[in-house]
């Protein structure tokens, strides 16, 4: 009998010290920043006298400047100064790309959630060995060209964005909502550099100049072969499907006939040399079903064929799910389902323009478990009904996956191991992500830093065999050569808990977890310094899994400086873990980024 199990460990409560409610920061009205905080090359803003020590005022300002807009670009690469250490000789020659929101405030009083900020692509070029060159440019999306005046370089937001509300623009009756900002993920595949966003076509960017080439209708281009639609069958199943199909028919015109939305997160199956992307039906966000289409894109050795579709597989399940990230093994696509529901009252307010459009959706806590779907990648004859999920105990909202793999269990069955960052349904509030306060169009750090006894609701790492890191964490990463295979190490961004007023986010520490023996080592950036996502780069000639380096952006917001830090993955936790720090010029300090990608040259 072929069996599948998913051993999971629920997140432990954090051991962070008690914190004061950050809502009290609003009382420091004389320190309140203007609605728009931005940098440009001509005029770098100077902070008010820096509050000393670990204070609520300092924490508030640090949080604002972590997401401060950067309007300047570098059309010509700039040589970076190595401010500490030296570039490791066995670091491969390549380019590290990092994308995230670059502009969050316009010139007319509107500010948006970081999730709606215009995509800003950064490139650290290590092709020269000891010389590292830096470039940064906006992804010239259709919305970016509309909202930025090319002559005056002034911005006016006209699209509300999914998570935001405009203050200086049209609100009631404004149907411009889903603007593709290409700000979430970046990947280079088949010689093409793509910037991805949650719900729109990727934008292709020149890998060297970072100039925008245009959109890539990946779904249309790949939907050339007929793919089987996998649905659950039953005596009255057809009637339910018919009703849902009729509802979908009427929703499509409202959603501008967008039949599918491409998720921003992709996976690379190194064994088969495939880039795997996932698309969902757009109307399913409002319907009690979920359709998933997986595409396997082959890295063809032929220069004539850049993208070659090797596989297309579609599934339909009876769950109302919101998927952001996912994983795969040799045999399965793995989805941890985030159950959502339509919020009727929120929909009416959102449609009026008085609340973010995402207010139409809310987490669905009606079931006490979390569905995990194991969808067969190649064969449907796995002796298990894939449409019936494995119900993991607890309501676990998945944000990001580091890896999944399968191995034979002690009793002969197949065991699927899952490594992910999850939080509680009770914490998720879509309009408040990153602490965005749509009523004031400002960022409130209180939401991302729960008060005492609520820390366990925040994002934590979940893995097998046991959980040894109790603090909030996200952005898990592994050695990419082990994707879909058994791995021993997971790296993640986490918090040291040393800041009283920002104990959980922003992150200030990179943690390395040994999945075999449960040991933990970490590197902390220091006081009033924060970090983004860690990226693992295998070293030249490395033989062991942790032979390589961690690249991570460091935000020294109190001094308005950014560095790219190179950590020795083997020496995590030791005094000499930092191999080098590259200093970005102050006038080009960049805001918090989302996801990065390393490519060898």
Residues annotated within the binding site for Fe cation are: 230, 324, 400, 595
Longest Cα–Cα distance in the chain: 71
User: What is the token pair recorded at 582?
Assistant: 């590259």
Neighbours of 524 (CB within 10 A): 15
Residue 243, φ and ψ in degrees, nearest 5? -60, -40
Q: Rounded to whole angstroms, how far apart are CA atoms 94 and 600?
A: 4
Residue appearing with tokens 């983004």: 532
For residues 82 and 581, the answer to whether their CB atoms sit within 8 Å is yes
Residue 529, φ and ψ in degrees, nearest 5? -130, 135
Q: Rounded to whole angstroms, how far apart are CA atoms 401 and 478?
A: 10
Q: SS3 for 229-288, per residue? A: EECCCCCCHHHHHHHHHHHHHHHHHHCCCCCEEECCCCEEECCCCEEEEEEEEHHHHHCC
For residues 341 and 428, the answer to whether their CB atoms sit within 8 Å is no
For residues 373 and 317, the answer to whether their CB atoms sit within 8 Å is yes
Binding-site annotation: residue ranges: 230, 324, 400, 595
Concatenating the DSSP letter of every residue in 396-417 gives EEEEEEEEEEEEE-TTSSEEEE
Q: Rounded to whole angstroms, how far apart are CA atoms 362 and 349?
A: 14
User: What is the token pair recorded at 144?
Assistant: 């970016």
For residues 323 and 263, the answer to whether their CB atoms sit within 8 Å is yes
Q: Rounded to whole angstroms, how far apart are CA atoms 229 and 146?
A: 38
What is the per-residue burial (b if ≥16 Cβ within 10 Å, else e) of 115-142?
Answer: bbbbbbbbbbbbeeeeebbbbbbbbbbe
Q: How far is CA 225 from the centre of its chain?
A: 30
Q: How far apart are the first and last CA of the chain?
A: 47
Q: Rounded to whole angstroms, how far apart are CA atoms 42 and 33?
A: 20
Q: Rounded to whole angstroms, how far apart are CA atoms 16 and 499?
A: 10
User: What is the token pair recorded at 521?
Assistant: 């080592």
**Residue 121, SS3 per DSSP:** strand
Concatenating the DSSP letter of every residue in 166-223 gives -SSS--TT----------SEEEEETTEEEEE-TTS--EEE-TTT--EEEE--HHHHHT
């Amino acid at each position: 009998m072929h069996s599948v199990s998913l051993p999971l460990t629920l997140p432990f409560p954090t051991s962070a010290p008690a914190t004061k409610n950050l809502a009290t920061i609003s009382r420091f009205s004389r320190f309140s920043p203007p609605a728009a905080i931005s940098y440009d090359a001509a005029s770098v803003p100077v902070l008010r006298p820096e509050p000393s020590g670990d204070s609520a005022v300092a924490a508030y300002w640090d949080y604002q400047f972590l997401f401060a807009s950067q309007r300047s670009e570098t059309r010509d690469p700039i040589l970076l100064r190595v401010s500490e250490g030296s570039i490791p000789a066995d670091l491969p020659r390549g380019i590290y790309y990092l994308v995230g929101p670059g502009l969050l405030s316009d010139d007319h009083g509107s500010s948006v959630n970081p999730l709606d900020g215009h995509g800003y692509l950064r490139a650290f070029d290590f092709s020269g060995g000891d010389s590292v060159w830096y470039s940064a440019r906006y992804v010239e999306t259709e919305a970016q060209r509309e909202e930025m005046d090319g002559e005056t370089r002034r911005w006016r937001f006209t699209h509300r964005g999914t998570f935001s509300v405009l203050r200086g623009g049209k609100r009631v009756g404004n149907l411009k909502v889903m603007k593709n900002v290409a700000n979430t993920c970046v990947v280079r595949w088949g010689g093409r550099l793509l910037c991805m966003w949650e719900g729109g076509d990727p934008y292709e960017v020149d890998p060297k100049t970072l100039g925008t080439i245009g959109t890539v209708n990946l779904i249309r281009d790949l939907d050339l072969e007929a793919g089987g639609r996998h649905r659950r069958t039953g005596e009255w199943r057809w009637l339910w499907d018919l009703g849902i199909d009729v509802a979908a028919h009427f929703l499509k015109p409202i959603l501008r006939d967008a039949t599918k939305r491409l998720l921003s997160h992709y996976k690379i199956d190194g064994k088969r040399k495939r880039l795997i992307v996932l698309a969902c039906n757009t109307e399913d966000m409002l319907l009690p079903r979920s359709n998933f289409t997986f595409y396997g894109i082959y890295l063809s050795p032929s220069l004539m064929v850049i993208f070659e579709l090797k596989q297309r597989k579609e599934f339909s399940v009876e769950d109302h799910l919101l998927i952001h990230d996912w994983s795969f093994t040799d045999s399965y696509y793995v989805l941890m389902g985030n159950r959502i529901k339509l919020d009727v009252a929120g929909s009416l307010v959102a449609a009026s323009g008085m609340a973010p459009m995402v207010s139409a959706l809310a987490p669905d806590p009606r079931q006490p478990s979390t569905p995990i779907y194991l969808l067969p990648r190649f064969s449907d004859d796995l002796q298990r009904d894939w449409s019936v999920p494995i119900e993991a105990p607890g309501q676990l909202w998945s944000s990001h996956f580091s890896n999944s793999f399968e191995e034979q269990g002690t009793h002969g069955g197949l065991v699927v191991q899952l490594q992910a960052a999850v939080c509680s349904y009770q914490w998720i509030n879509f309009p408040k992500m990153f602490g965005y306060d749509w009523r004031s169009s400002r960022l409130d750090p209180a939401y991302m830093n729960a008060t005492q006894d609520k820390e366990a609701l925040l994002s934590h790492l979940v893995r097998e065999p046991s959980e040894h890191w109790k603090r909030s964490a996200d952005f898990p990463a592994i050695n990419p050569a082990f994707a879909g295979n058994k791995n021993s190490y997971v790296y993640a961004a986490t918090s040291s808990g040393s800041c009283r007023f920002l104990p959980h986010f922003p992150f200030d520490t990179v943690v390395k977890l040994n999945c075999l023996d449960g040991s933990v080592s970490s590197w902390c950036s220091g006081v009033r310094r924060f970090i983004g996502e860690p990226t693992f780069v295998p070293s030249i000639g490395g033989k062991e899994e942790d032979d390589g380096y961690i690249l991570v952006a460091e935000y020294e917001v109190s001094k308005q400086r950014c560095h790219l830090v190179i950590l020795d993955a083997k020496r995590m936790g030791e005094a000499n873990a930092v191999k080098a720090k590259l200093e970005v010029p102050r006038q080009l300090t960049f805001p918090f980024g989302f996801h990065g990608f390393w490519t060898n040259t």
